[in-house]
Structure 1
Amino acid sequence: MRLVVQGRAISLSHLTHIHRIIGGHAQFIQVGEFAYYLPIQQQDTAEVARFCAEQLLDYAVVPDQQRLNQFGLCVMDMDSTLISIECIDEIADMMGIKPQIAEITEAAMRGELDFAASLKKRVALLKGLPESALHRVIEERLQLNPGAQAWITACKAHRISTMVVSGGFTFFANHVKQLLGLDYAVSNTLEIVDGKLTGNILGDIVDAQRKADELVKLRDQLGLKPEQTIAIGDGANDLKMMAAAAIGIAYHAKPVVQQQAKYALNHTGLDGVINLLSA
Protein backbone atom coordinates (compact mmCIF):
# COMPACT_ATOMS: atom_id res chain seq x y z
CA MET A 1 0.00 0.00 0.00
CA ARG A 2 1.02 3.60 -0.35
CA LEU A 3 -0.05 6.66 1.59
CA VAL A 4 -0.54 9.55 -0.85
CA VAL A 5 -0.53 13.06 0.62
CA GLN A 6 -1.03 16.14 -1.54
CA GLY A 7 -2.13 19.77 -1.53
CA ARG A 8 -0.75 23.19 -2.31
CA ALA A 9 -0.20 23.84 1.40
CA ILE A 10 2.10 20.80 1.81
CA SER A 11 5.50 21.34 3.41
CA LEU A 12 8.46 19.35 4.66
CA SER A 13 7.23 19.78 8.23
CA HIS A 14 3.93 18.14 7.26
CA LEU A 15 5.75 15.14 5.81
CA THR A 16 8.00 14.87 8.86
CA HIS A 17 5.00 14.88 11.19
CA ILE A 18 3.16 12.24 9.15
CA HIS A 19 6.30 10.09 9.01
CA ARG A 20 6.53 10.30 12.80
CA ILE A 21 2.90 9.12 13.09
CA ILE A 22 3.38 6.20 10.70
CA GLY A 23 6.89 5.17 11.75
CA GLY A 24 9.00 2.70 9.77
CA HIS A 25 12.08 3.19 7.64
CA ALA A 26 10.55 4.06 4.25
CA GLN A 27 10.80 7.67 3.08
CA PHE A 28 8.34 9.91 1.25
CA ILE A 29 8.77 9.97 -2.54
CA GLN A 30 7.62 12.97 -4.59
CA VAL A 31 5.13 12.18 -7.38
CA GLY A 32 3.91 15.68 -8.26
CA GLU A 33 4.66 19.31 -7.56
CA PHE A 34 2.59 19.19 -4.37
CA ALA A 35 2.24 15.42 -3.92
CA TYR A 36 4.17 12.68 -2.12
CA TYR A 37 3.67 9.04 -1.25
CA LEU A 38 4.98 6.77 1.47
CA PRO A 39 5.02 2.96 1.23
CA ILE A 40 3.16 1.65 4.29
CA GLN A 41 2.03 -1.65 5.78
CA GLN A 42 -0.53 -0.62 8.37
CA GLN A 43 -4.21 0.02 7.71
CA ASP A 44 -4.88 2.35 10.65
CA THR A 45 -4.26 5.88 9.40
CA ALA A 46 -6.98 7.67 11.38
CA GLU A 47 -4.44 9.96 13.07
CA VAL A 48 -2.96 10.87 9.68
CA ALA A 49 -6.46 11.57 8.37
CA ARG A 50 -7.17 13.97 11.25
CA PHE A 51 -3.85 15.75 10.79
CA CYS A 52 -4.32 16.16 7.02
CA ALA A 53 -7.86 17.49 7.48
CA GLU A 54 -6.54 20.10 9.95
CA GLN A 55 -3.73 21.09 7.57
CA LEU A 56 -5.97 21.26 4.45
CA LEU A 57 -4.22 18.34 2.75
CA ASP A 58 -5.70 15.44 0.80
CA TYR A 59 -4.64 11.98 1.81
CA ALA A 60 -5.46 8.46 0.65
CA VAL A 61 -4.29 4.91 1.25
CA VAL A 62 -4.02 3.34 -2.21
CA PRO A 63 -3.41 -0.37 -2.93
CA ASP A 64 -0.23 -0.94 -4.94
CA GLN A 65 -2.12 -2.54 -7.83
CA GLN A 66 -4.21 0.61 -8.40
CA ARG A 67 -2.10 2.45 -10.96
CA LEU A 68 -3.04 4.33 -14.11
CA ASN A 69 -1.85 1.57 -16.43
CA GLN A 70 -4.36 -0.83 -14.85
CA PHE A 71 -7.44 1.19 -15.88
CA GLY A 72 -9.30 1.47 -19.18
CA LEU A 73 -12.28 3.78 -18.55
CA CYS A 74 -12.96 6.96 -16.58
CA VAL A 75 -16.51 8.28 -16.35
CA MET A 76 -17.00 11.78 -14.98
CA ASP A 77 -19.75 14.15 -13.94
CA MET A 78 -19.65 17.57 -15.62
CA ASP A 79 -21.11 20.40 -13.49
CA SER A 80 -18.88 21.23 -10.50
CA THR A 81 -16.62 18.30 -11.43
CA LEU A 82 -15.09 18.86 -14.86
CA ILE A 83 -16.28 22.46 -14.95
CA SER A 84 -16.57 25.03 -12.16
CA ILE A 85 -20.23 25.96 -12.58
CA GLU A 86 -23.70 24.42 -12.40
CA CYS A 87 -24.91 25.27 -15.90
CA ILE A 88 -28.59 25.37 -15.02
CA ASP A 89 -27.90 27.91 -12.27
CA GLU A 90 -26.06 30.15 -14.74
CA ILE A 91 -28.88 29.82 -17.31
CA ALA A 92 -31.29 30.84 -14.56
CA ASP A 93 -29.13 33.88 -13.86
CA MET A 94 -29.92 35.07 -17.38
CA MET A 95 -33.59 35.16 -16.31
CA GLY A 96 -32.89 36.75 -12.93
CA ILE A 97 -34.02 33.64 -11.02
CA LYS A 98 -30.66 32.12 -10.06
CA PRO A 99 -31.29 32.11 -6.26
CA GLN A 100 -34.51 30.10 -6.60
CA ILE A 101 -33.00 27.52 -8.96
CA ALA A 102 -29.63 27.33 -7.21
CA GLU A 103 -31.41 26.45 -3.96
CA ILE A 104 -33.13 23.50 -5.64
CA THR A 105 -29.86 22.43 -7.32
CA GLU A 106 -27.99 22.48 -4.02
CA ALA A 107 -30.65 20.40 -2.28
CA ALA A 108 -30.64 17.87 -5.13
CA MET A 109 -26.84 17.58 -5.01
CA ARG A 110 -27.00 16.97 -1.26
CA GLY A 111 -29.42 14.12 -1.94
CA GLU A 112 -32.38 15.82 -0.28
CA LEU A 113 -34.56 15.90 -3.42
CA ASP A 114 -35.30 13.39 -6.16
CA PHE A 115 -32.98 14.42 -8.98
CA ALA A 116 -35.30 13.81 -11.95
CA ALA A 117 -38.26 15.62 -10.32
CA SER A 118 -36.07 18.53 -9.25
CA LEU A 119 -34.55 18.84 -12.72
CA LYS A 120 -37.98 18.97 -14.39
CA LYS A 121 -39.06 21.61 -11.88
CA ARG A 122 -35.97 23.74 -12.57
CA VAL A 123 -36.16 23.43 -16.36
CA ALA A 124 -39.85 24.36 -16.34
CA LEU A 125 -38.85 27.70 -14.81
CA LEU A 126 -36.64 28.41 -17.84
CA LYS A 127 -39.54 28.45 -20.30
CA GLY A 128 -39.27 31.28 -22.83
CA LEU A 129 -35.53 31.87 -22.42
CA PRO A 130 -33.83 32.49 -25.80
CA GLU A 131 -31.32 29.90 -26.99
CA SER A 132 -28.72 32.67 -27.21
CA ALA A 133 -28.54 32.62 -23.40
CA LEU A 134 -26.97 29.16 -23.59
CA HIS A 135 -24.22 30.52 -25.81
CA ARG A 136 -23.64 33.32 -23.31
CA VAL A 137 -23.14 30.82 -20.50
CA ILE A 138 -20.41 29.09 -22.53
CA GLU A 139 -18.76 32.36 -23.56
CA GLU A 140 -19.00 34.16 -20.21
CA ARG A 141 -19.25 31.59 -17.42
CA LEU A 142 -18.06 28.10 -18.33
CA GLN A 143 -14.55 27.27 -17.14
CA LEU A 144 -12.73 23.98 -16.65
CA ASN A 145 -11.86 23.04 -13.11
CA PRO A 146 -8.15 23.12 -12.21
CA GLY A 147 -6.27 20.07 -13.42
CA ALA A 148 -9.05 18.87 -15.76
CA GLN A 149 -6.93 19.09 -18.91
CA ALA A 150 -3.93 17.49 -17.19
CA TRP A 151 -6.09 14.58 -16.01
CA ILE A 152 -7.57 13.94 -19.47
CA THR A 153 -4.09 14.18 -21.03
CA ALA A 154 -2.91 11.53 -18.57
CA CYS A 155 -5.89 9.33 -19.50
CA LYS A 156 -4.99 9.58 -23.19
CA ALA A 157 -1.35 8.73 -22.44
CA HIS A 158 -2.48 5.56 -20.66
CA ARG A 159 -5.17 4.68 -23.23
CA ILE A 160 -7.98 5.23 -20.75
CA SER A 161 -11.27 5.99 -22.52
CA THR A 162 -13.10 9.03 -21.14
CA MET A 163 -16.81 9.85 -20.89
CA VAL A 164 -18.74 12.71 -19.37
CA VAL A 165 -22.16 11.61 -18.07
CA SER A 166 -24.13 14.61 -16.96
CA GLY A 167 -27.49 15.39 -15.42
CA GLY A 168 -26.96 18.69 -17.23
CA PHE A 169 -27.47 19.40 -20.90
CA THR A 170 -26.06 18.26 -24.24
CA PHE A 171 -25.46 21.87 -25.29
CA PHE A 172 -22.75 22.10 -22.62
CA ALA A 173 -21.65 18.46 -22.43
CA ASN A 174 -20.82 18.37 -26.14
CA HIS A 175 -18.85 21.60 -25.75
CA VAL A 176 -16.86 20.15 -22.84
CA LYS A 177 -16.32 16.91 -24.76
CA GLN A 178 -14.78 18.87 -27.62
CA LEU A 179 -12.86 21.22 -25.32
CA LEU A 180 -11.17 18.39 -23.42
CA GLY A 181 -11.05 15.84 -26.22
CA LEU A 182 -13.25 13.31 -24.41
CA ASP A 183 -14.32 10.13 -26.16
CA TYR A 184 -18.01 10.07 -25.17
CA ALA A 185 -20.70 12.38 -23.77
CA VAL A 186 -24.18 11.57 -22.41
CA SER A 187 -26.56 14.18 -21.01
CA ASN A 188 -30.07 15.65 -21.16
CA THR A 189 -31.51 17.54 -24.14
CA LEU A 190 -33.40 20.79 -23.65
CA GLU A 191 -36.37 21.23 -25.99
CA ILE A 192 -35.96 24.38 -28.07
CA VAL A 193 -38.72 25.64 -30.39
CA ASP A 194 -38.43 28.81 -32.48
CA GLY A 195 -35.18 29.70 -30.74
CA LYS A 196 -36.62 29.53 -27.21
CA LEU A 197 -36.59 26.98 -24.39
CA THR A 198 -39.99 25.33 -23.92
CA GLY A 199 -39.35 24.33 -20.31
CA ASN A 200 -39.27 20.64 -21.29
CA ILE A 201 -36.57 17.96 -21.53
CA LEU A 202 -36.54 15.57 -24.47
CA GLY A 203 -36.22 11.83 -23.85
CA ASP A 204 -35.27 9.99 -20.68
CA ILE A 205 -33.58 11.99 -17.95
CA VAL A 206 -29.97 11.21 -17.08
CA ASP A 207 -30.40 10.55 -13.37
CA ALA A 208 -28.26 8.62 -10.86
CA GLN A 209 -29.27 5.18 -12.17
CA ARG A 210 -28.76 6.20 -15.79
CA LYS A 211 -25.25 7.42 -14.96
CA ALA A 212 -24.39 4.02 -13.47
CA ASP A 213 -26.00 2.21 -16.40
CA GLU A 214 -24.00 4.24 -18.93
CA LEU A 215 -20.76 3.36 -17.15
CA VAL A 216 -21.55 -0.35 -17.17
CA LYS A 217 -22.75 -0.26 -20.78
CA LEU A 218 -19.60 1.43 -22.06
CA ARG A 219 -17.38 -0.74 -19.88
CA ASP A 220 -18.89 -3.84 -21.45
CA GLN A 221 -18.70 -2.38 -24.98
CA LEU A 222 -14.99 -1.76 -24.47
CA GLY A 223 -14.47 -5.29 -23.14
CA LEU A 224 -13.18 -4.07 -19.79
CA LYS A 225 -13.39 -5.68 -16.36
CA PRO A 226 -15.14 -3.91 -13.47
CA GLU A 227 -11.78 -3.33 -11.74
CA GLN A 228 -10.60 -1.28 -14.74
CA THR A 229 -13.07 1.58 -14.19
CA ILE A 230 -12.90 4.97 -12.45
CA ALA A 231 -15.78 7.36 -11.71
CA ILE A 232 -15.43 10.96 -10.53
CA GLY A 233 -18.25 13.15 -9.23
CA ASP A 234 -19.38 15.66 -6.62
CA GLY A 235 -23.13 15.26 -6.09
CA ALA A 236 -25.53 12.68 -4.67
CA ASN A 237 -26.66 11.79 -8.19
CA ASP A 238 -23.10 10.52 -8.85
CA LEU A 239 -23.11 7.94 -6.06
CA LYS A 240 -24.54 5.02 -8.05
CA MET A 241 -22.08 5.67 -10.87
CA MET A 242 -19.22 5.80 -8.38
CA ALA A 243 -20.40 2.58 -6.74
CA ALA A 244 -20.47 0.84 -10.14
CA ALA A 245 -16.80 1.70 -10.73
CA ALA A 246 -13.77 0.02 -9.17
CA ILE A 247 -12.90 3.34 -7.56
CA GLY A 248 -15.14 6.33 -6.98
CA ILE A 249 -13.43 9.67 -6.43
CA ALA A 250 -15.25 12.53 -4.75
CA TYR A 251 -14.05 15.84 -6.18
CA HIS A 252 -14.71 18.86 -3.90
CA ALA A 253 -17.91 16.99 -3.18
CA LYS A 254 -20.94 17.17 -0.93
CA PRO A 255 -20.45 15.44 2.48
CA VAL A 256 -22.69 12.49 1.55
CA VAL A 257 -20.49 11.80 -1.47
CA GLN A 258 -17.22 12.10 0.44
CA GLN A 259 -18.49 9.63 3.01
CA GLN A 260 -19.21 6.96 0.40
CA ALA A 261 -16.38 7.52 -2.08
CA LYS A 262 -13.21 5.45 -2.12
CA TYR A 263 -11.07 8.60 -2.35
CA ALA A 264 -11.79 12.29 -1.87
CA LEU A 265 -9.99 15.34 -3.26
CA ASN A 266 -10.81 18.57 -1.44
CA HIS A 267 -7.65 20.64 -1.69
CA THR A 268 -6.17 19.69 -5.07
CA GLY A 269 -7.34 19.90 -8.67
CA LEU A 270 -8.35 16.99 -10.87
CA ASP A 271 -4.67 16.40 -11.55
CA GLY A 272 -4.69 15.02 -8.00
CA VAL A 273 -6.14 11.83 -9.51
CA ILE A 274 -2.87 11.37 -11.42
CA ASN A 275 -0.94 11.53 -8.15
CA LEU A 276 -3.26 9.02 -6.50
CA LEU A 277 -2.80 6.44 -9.24
CA SER A 278 0.71 7.02 -10.55
CA ALA A 279 2.63 6.88 -7.28
Structure 2
Amino acid sequence: MTTNLVLQGPQATHATLERLAQLAAPASITALGEHALRADGVTYSPALKAELDAAAFEAGVDATFIAAGRALSDFKLVAMDMDSTLITIECIDEIADMQGLKPQVAAITEAAMRGELDFSESLNRRVALLAGLDASALQRVYDERLNISMGGEAMLQAVQAAGLKTLLVSGGFTFFTDRLKPRLGLDNTHANVLEVVDGKLTGRVLGGIVDADEKKRTVERVCAELGIAPSQAIVMGDGANDLKMMGIAGLSVAFRAKPVVRAQADVAFNFSGLDGLLTILA
Protein backbone atom coordinates (compact mmCIF):
# COMPACT_ATOMS: atom_id res chain seq x y z
CA MET A 1 0.00 0.00 0.00
CA THR A 2 1.26 3.45 -0.90
CA THR A 3 1.86 5.62 2.12
CA ASN A 4 2.09 9.37 2.31
CA LEU A 5 3.86 11.46 4.92
CA VAL A 6 2.24 14.70 6.07
CA LEU A 7 4.49 17.21 7.84
CA GLN A 8 3.07 20.31 9.52
CA GLY A 9 3.95 22.78 12.23
CA PRO A 10 2.67 26.29 12.97
CA GLN A 11 6.22 27.69 13.13
CA ALA A 12 7.81 25.40 10.53
CA THR A 13 9.55 26.84 7.48
CA HIS A 14 9.25 25.22 4.08
CA ALA A 15 12.97 24.46 4.15
CA THR A 16 12.61 22.55 7.42
CA LEU A 17 9.62 20.60 6.11
CA GLU A 18 11.42 19.74 2.88
CA ARG A 19 14.53 18.58 4.77
CA LEU A 20 12.40 16.25 6.90
CA ALA A 21 10.48 14.98 3.87
CA GLN A 22 13.70 13.99 2.11
CA LEU A 23 14.47 11.58 4.97
CA ALA A 24 11.58 9.46 3.66
CA ALA A 25 12.86 9.43 0.03
CA PRO A 26 9.44 10.34 -1.41
CA ALA A 27 8.38 10.02 -5.02
CA SER A 28 7.11 13.61 -4.95
CA ILE A 29 6.40 16.50 -2.59
CA THR A 30 3.29 18.68 -2.55
CA ALA A 31 3.00 21.91 -0.59
CA LEU A 32 -0.12 22.10 1.59
CA GLY A 33 -0.01 25.75 2.51
CA GLU A 34 2.69 27.77 4.20
CA HIS A 35 3.41 25.43 7.10
CA ALA A 36 2.62 21.96 5.76
CA LEU A 37 3.55 19.57 2.97
CA ARG A 38 2.82 16.05 1.85
CA ALA A 39 5.52 13.62 0.77
CA ASP A 40 3.94 11.07 -1.58
CA GLY A 41 4.94 7.51 -2.33
CA VAL A 42 6.85 6.79 0.87
CA THR A 43 7.91 3.28 1.86
CA TYR A 44 6.88 3.01 5.49
CA SER A 45 8.89 1.12 8.08
CA PRO A 46 9.00 1.29 11.88
CA ALA A 47 12.63 2.38 11.67
CA LEU A 48 11.75 5.26 9.33
CA LYS A 49 8.90 6.30 11.59
CA ALA A 50 11.18 6.34 14.64
CA GLU A 51 13.80 8.40 12.78
CA LEU A 52 11.25 10.89 11.46
CA ASP A 53 9.37 11.20 14.74
CA ALA A 54 12.56 12.14 16.55
CA ALA A 55 13.76 14.58 13.87
CA ALA A 56 10.33 16.17 13.49
CA PHE A 57 9.82 16.61 17.22
CA GLU A 58 13.21 18.31 17.48
CA ALA A 59 12.15 20.69 14.69
CA GLY A 60 8.72 21.46 16.18
CA VAL A 61 6.92 19.55 13.43
CA ASP A 62 4.19 16.89 13.52
CA ALA A 63 4.87 13.93 11.21
CA THR A 64 2.03 11.63 10.17
CA PHE A 65 2.20 8.55 7.97
CA ILE A 66 -1.18 7.90 6.36
CA ALA A 67 -2.43 5.67 3.57
CA ALA A 68 -2.72 7.48 0.25
CA GLY A 69 -6.23 8.59 -0.58
CA ARG A 70 -7.64 8.72 2.94
CA ALA A 71 -10.09 11.61 3.23
CA LEU A 72 -12.51 13.15 5.68
CA SER A 73 -15.33 11.60 3.66
CA ASP A 74 -14.15 8.13 4.77
CA PHE A 75 -15.48 8.92 8.25
CA LYS A 76 -18.90 9.58 9.79
CA LEU A 77 -18.12 10.50 13.41
CA VAL A 78 -15.55 12.52 15.35
CA ALA A 79 -15.38 11.56 19.04
CA MET A 80 -13.35 13.74 21.40
CA ASP A 81 -12.17 13.76 24.97
CA MET A 82 -12.83 17.13 26.61
CA ASP A 83 -10.22 18.13 29.21
CA SER A 84 -6.81 18.91 27.67
CA THR A 85 -8.10 17.78 24.26
CA LEU A 86 -11.05 19.86 23.03
CA ILE A 87 -10.41 22.39 25.80
CA THR A 88 -7.12 23.64 27.20
CA ILE A 89 -7.72 22.91 30.90
CA GLU A 90 -8.39 20.04 33.28
CA CYS A 91 -11.65 21.31 34.75
CA ILE A 92 -11.28 19.45 38.03
CA ASP A 93 -7.86 21.02 38.62
CA GLU A 94 -9.31 24.50 38.09
CA ILE A 95 -12.30 23.76 40.34
CA ALA A 96 -9.84 22.59 42.99
CA ASP A 97 -7.97 25.87 42.63
CA MET A 98 -11.10 27.62 43.92
CA GLN A 99 -10.74 25.46 47.03
CA GLY A 100 -7.00 26.14 47.34
CA LEU A 101 -6.25 22.52 46.49
CA LYS A 102 -5.00 22.64 42.91
CA PRO A 103 -1.51 21.16 43.55
CA GLN A 104 -2.92 18.12 45.37
CA VAL A 105 -5.64 17.46 42.81
CA ALA A 106 -3.46 18.20 39.76
CA ALA A 107 -0.86 15.66 40.96
CA ILE A 108 -3.53 12.94 41.06
CA THR A 109 -4.85 14.03 37.64
CA GLU A 110 -1.38 13.82 36.08
CA ALA A 111 -0.76 10.33 37.50
CA ALA A 112 -4.15 9.14 36.22
CA MET A 113 -3.55 10.56 32.72
CA ARG A 114 -0.16 8.82 32.59
CA GLY A 115 -1.93 5.56 33.41
CA GLU A 116 -0.35 5.17 36.85
CA LEU A 117 -3.65 5.25 38.78
CA ASP A 118 -7.03 3.64 38.21
CA PHE A 119 -9.17 6.41 36.73
CA SER A 120 -12.34 5.76 38.73
CA GLU A 121 -10.44 5.61 42.01
CA SER A 122 -8.51 8.75 41.16
CA LEU A 123 -11.66 10.65 40.21
CA ASN A 124 -13.40 9.71 43.45
CA ARG A 125 -10.33 10.84 45.41
CA ARG A 126 -10.20 14.16 43.60
CA VAL A 127 -13.92 14.89 43.79
CA ALA A 128 -13.94 14.09 47.51
CA LEU A 129 -11.49 16.95 48.05
CA LEU A 130 -14.07 19.36 46.59
CA ALA A 131 -16.69 18.69 49.27
CA GLY A 132 -18.22 21.92 50.61
CA LEU A 133 -17.18 24.10 47.68
CA ASP A 134 -19.87 26.50 46.49
CA ALA A 135 -21.27 25.27 43.17
CA SER A 136 -20.86 28.76 41.72
CA ALA A 137 -17.17 27.90 41.36
CA LEU A 138 -18.09 25.74 38.36
CA GLN A 139 -19.49 28.73 36.48
CA ARG A 140 -16.38 30.75 37.34
CA VAL A 141 -14.17 28.06 35.85
CA TYR A 142 -16.29 27.98 32.69
CA ASP A 143 -16.37 31.77 32.33
CA GLU A 144 -12.81 32.61 33.37
CA ARG A 145 -10.60 29.65 32.50
CA LEU A 146 -12.14 27.37 29.89
CA ASN A 147 -10.81 27.93 26.37
CA ILE A 148 -11.19 25.82 23.24
CA SER A 149 -7.91 24.22 22.16
CA MET A 150 -6.02 25.65 19.20
CA GLY A 151 -7.78 24.80 15.96
CA GLY A 152 -10.71 23.16 17.75
CA GLU A 153 -13.46 25.38 16.42
CA ALA A 154 -12.09 25.34 12.86
CA MET A 155 -11.85 21.54 12.97
CA LEU A 156 -15.42 21.18 14.24
CA GLN A 157 -16.83 23.59 11.66
CA ALA A 158 -15.14 21.65 8.86
CA VAL A 159 -16.20 18.18 9.99
CA GLN A 160 -19.75 19.37 10.62
CA ALA A 161 -19.87 20.99 7.17
CA ALA A 162 -18.72 17.65 5.72
CA GLY A 163 -21.67 15.92 7.41
CA LEU A 164 -19.84 14.10 10.19
CA LYS A 165 -21.53 13.71 13.57
CA THR A 166 -19.73 14.70 16.78
CA LEU A 167 -19.40 13.17 20.25
CA LEU A 168 -17.80 14.73 23.32
CA VAL A 169 -17.13 11.94 25.83
CA SER A 170 -15.42 13.01 29.02
CA GLY A 171 -14.14 11.80 32.34
CA GLY A 172 -14.95 15.37 33.40
CA PHE A 173 -18.33 16.81 34.24
CA THR A 174 -21.71 17.44 32.64
CA PHE A 175 -21.67 21.03 33.92
CA PHE A 176 -19.11 21.76 31.20
CA THR A 177 -20.20 19.35 28.45
CA ASP A 178 -23.79 20.64 28.72
CA ARG A 179 -22.55 24.17 28.00
CA LEU A 180 -20.16 23.20 25.23
CA LYS A 181 -22.82 21.19 23.38
CA PRO A 182 -24.90 24.18 22.20
CA ARG A 183 -21.89 26.49 22.01
CA LEU A 184 -20.12 24.24 19.50
CA GLY A 185 -23.14 22.54 17.93
CA LEU A 186 -22.15 19.08 19.18
CA ASP A 187 -24.46 16.14 18.51
CA ASN A 188 -23.74 13.98 21.57
CA THR A 189 -22.11 14.42 24.99
CA HIS A 190 -21.47 12.09 27.91
CA ALA A 191 -19.71 12.90 31.20
CA ASN A 192 -19.83 12.53 34.99
CA VAL A 193 -22.46 14.22 37.16
CA LEU A 194 -21.25 16.13 40.21
CA GLU A 195 -23.66 15.94 43.15
CA VAL A 196 -24.77 19.36 44.42
CA VAL A 197 -26.86 19.78 47.57
CA ASP A 198 -27.97 23.18 48.90
CA GLY A 199 -25.70 24.91 46.39
CA LYS A 200 -22.54 23.09 47.45
CA LEU A 201 -20.56 20.18 46.06
CA THR A 202 -20.91 17.07 48.22
CA GLY A 203 -17.65 15.51 47.07
CA ARG A 204 -19.49 12.70 45.28
CA VAL A 205 -20.23 11.71 41.69
CA LEU A 206 -23.77 10.58 40.89
CA GLY A 207 -24.20 7.33 38.96
CA GLY A 208 -21.50 5.43 37.15
CA ILE A 209 -18.14 6.98 36.37
CA VAL A 210 -17.12 7.67 32.79
CA ASP A 211 -13.83 5.76 32.80
CA ALA A 212 -11.88 4.19 29.94
CA ASP A 213 -14.32 1.31 29.49
CA GLU A 214 -17.35 3.61 29.56
CA LYS A 215 -15.73 5.91 27.00
CA LYS A 216 -15.21 2.94 24.67
CA ARG A 217 -18.78 1.74 25.22
CA THR A 218 -20.07 5.24 24.47
CA VAL A 219 -18.23 5.41 21.14
CA GLU A 220 -19.56 1.94 20.27
CA ARG A 221 -23.10 2.94 21.28
CA VAL A 222 -23.10 6.15 19.24
CA CYS A 223 -21.65 4.30 16.24
CA ALA A 224 -24.43 1.70 16.54
CA GLU A 225 -27.06 4.46 16.75
CA LEU A 226 -25.63 6.00 13.58
CA GLY A 227 -25.48 2.63 11.83
CA ILE A 228 -21.74 2.84 11.28
CA ALA A 229 -18.71 0.78 12.26
CA PRO A 230 -16.18 2.13 14.80
CA SER A 231 -13.70 2.07 11.91
CA GLN A 232 -15.66 5.03 10.50
CA ALA A 233 -14.92 7.07 13.64
CA ILE A 234 -12.06 9.45 14.34
CA VAL A 235 -11.28 9.47 18.08
CA MET A 236 -9.19 12.15 19.80
CA GLY A 237 -7.68 12.09 23.28
CA ASP A 238 -4.69 12.91 25.45
CA GLY A 239 -4.68 10.60 28.47
CA ALA A 240 -4.42 6.90 29.30
CA ASN A 241 -8.18 6.74 29.91
CA ASP A 242 -8.70 7.56 26.21
CA LEU A 243 -6.70 4.62 24.88
CA LYS A 244 -9.53 2.08 24.80
CA MET A 245 -11.84 4.28 22.73
CA MET A 246 -8.94 5.34 20.52
CA GLY A 247 -8.10 1.68 20.00
CA ILE A 248 -11.37 0.90 18.21
CA ALA A 249 -11.28 3.96 15.94
CA GLY A 250 -10.55 4.05 12.24
CA LEU A 251 -8.17 6.92 13.02
CA SER A 252 -6.87 7.78 16.49
CA VAL A 253 -5.51 11.24 17.23
CA ALA A 254 -3.33 12.11 20.23
CA PHE A 255 -3.42 15.82 21.08
CA ARG A 256 -0.73 17.25 23.38
CA ALA A 257 -0.80 13.76 24.79
CA LYS A 258 1.07 11.77 27.38
CA PRO A 259 3.88 9.60 25.91
CA VAL A 260 1.92 6.36 26.44
CA VAL A 261 -0.89 7.79 24.29
CA ARG A 262 1.34 9.28 21.58
CA ALA A 263 3.05 5.92 21.16
CA GLN A 264 -0.23 4.12 20.37
CA ALA A 265 -2.03 6.75 18.28
CA ASP A 266 -2.17 6.89 14.48
CA VAL A 267 -1.70 10.67 14.57
CA ALA A 268 0.02 12.81 17.21
CA PHE A 269 -0.31 16.58 17.32
CA ASN A 270 2.38 17.96 19.59
CA PHE A 271 2.58 21.35 17.86
CA SER A 272 -0.30 21.69 15.38
CA GLY A 273 -3.84 22.58 16.35
CA LEU A 274 -6.76 20.18 16.19
CA ASP A 275 -7.41 21.48 12.69
CA GLY A 276 -4.24 19.68 11.66
CA LEU A 277 -6.65 16.79 11.10
CA LEU A 278 -7.96 18.63 8.04
CA THR A 279 -4.48 18.81 6.52
CA ILE A 280 -3.93 15.08 6.98
CA LEU A 281 -7.28 14.17 5.43
CA ALA A 282 -7.29 16.81 2.69
Normalising by the smaller structure, the TM-score range is over 0.9
Say if 2:250 is the partner of 1:249. no
- Deviation of 1:33 after TM superposition, in Å, equals 4.4
Within a 5 Å distance, the mapping from 1:162-201 to structure 2 comes to 162-201=166-205
TM-score normalised per structure 2: 0.95
Distance 1:144 1:5 in 2: 24
Report the AA paired with residue 23 of structure 1: A
Pairing partner for 2:127 from 123, 126, 129: 123
**8 Å contact from structure 1 (residues 15, 28) kept in 2:** no
Kept after mapping to 1: 8 A contact 2:219/2:230: no
Aligned to 2:92: 88
- Shift in Å at residue 119 of structure 1? 0.3
d(CA) in 2 for partners of 1:165, 1:239: 13
Which position in structure 1 is the counterpart of 2:9? 7
Q: Secondary structure at the match of 2:281?
A: helix
The code of the aligned residue for 1:12 comes to H
Equivalent in 245, 250, 265 of residue 261 of structure 1 = 265
Letter in 1 for 2:118: D
Unaligned runs of 5+ in 1: none
What secondary structure, in the 3-state scheme, does the structure 2 residue paired with 1:78 have?
coil
- Deviation for aligned residue 1:271: 0.7
**Which 10-residue stretch deviates more, 219-228 or 97-106?**
219-228
Q: Counterpart of 2:271 in structure 1: which amino acid?
A: H
Give, in whole Å, the separation in 1 of the partners of 2:177 and 2:195: 15
- Following superposition, the deviation at residue 263 of structure 1 comes to 1.1
Shift of 1:19: 4.0
Q: Secondary structure of the equivalent of 2:43?
A: coil
Instruction: Please state if 1:275 is matched with 2:279.
Output: yes
**Structure 1 residue 175: deviation in Å?**
1.2
- Asked if 1 retains the 8 angstrom alpha-carbon contact of 2:252 and 2:266, the reply is yes
Q: Which residue of 1 aligns with 2:39?
A: 38
Residue of structure 1 aligned with 2:160, choices 128, 131, 156: 156
Output the CA distance in 1 between the equivalents of 2:201 and 2:17: 53
- Normalised to the residue count of structure 1, the TM-score between the two structures is 0.96
Structure 1 residue aligned with 2:110, among 92, 102, 106?
106
Alpha-carbon contact 1:107-1:113 (below 8 Å) kept: yes
Residue 231 of structure 1 aligns to a residue whose secondary structure is: strand
* Distance across 1 between alignment mates of 2:262 and 2:167: 21
Matched, 1:23 2:63: no
Q: Find the aligned partners of 2:182 and 2:259 in 1 and give their Cα distance.
A: 31
Q: Are 2:71 and 1:67 equivalent residues in the alignment?
A: yes
- Gapped regions of structure 2 (runs ≥ 5): none
Kindly indicate whether the alpha-carbon contact (under 8 Å) linking 2:168 and 2:177 is maintained by their aligned counterparts in 1. Answer: yes
Structure 1 counterpart SS, 2:138: helix
Corresponding residue SS for 2:166? strand
Q: Which amino acid aligns with 1:99?
A: P
Aligned-pair Cα RMSD in Å? 1.3
State yes or no: 1:208 paired with 2:212. Answer: yes
Please report how far the alpha carbon of residue 25 of structure 1 lies from its aligned counterpart in structure 2 after TM superposition.
4.4
Does the 8 Å contact 2:27/2:41 carry over to 1? no
1:197 aligned partner, one-letter code? L
* CA distance in 2 between partners of 1:254 and 1:132 (Å): 31
SS of the equivalent of 2:63 reads strand
| 1:21-78 superposed Cα distances (whole Å, 9 cap, x missing partner) | 2335412231x44221121231133333332122010011111242101100111000
Please say which of residues 96-105 and 174-183 is displaced more in the overlay.
Answer: 174-183
Distance 1:121 1:22 in 2: 47
Q: Is the 8 A contact 2:119 2:211 kept in 1?
A: yes
Letter in 2 for 1:10: A
SS at match of 2:23: helix
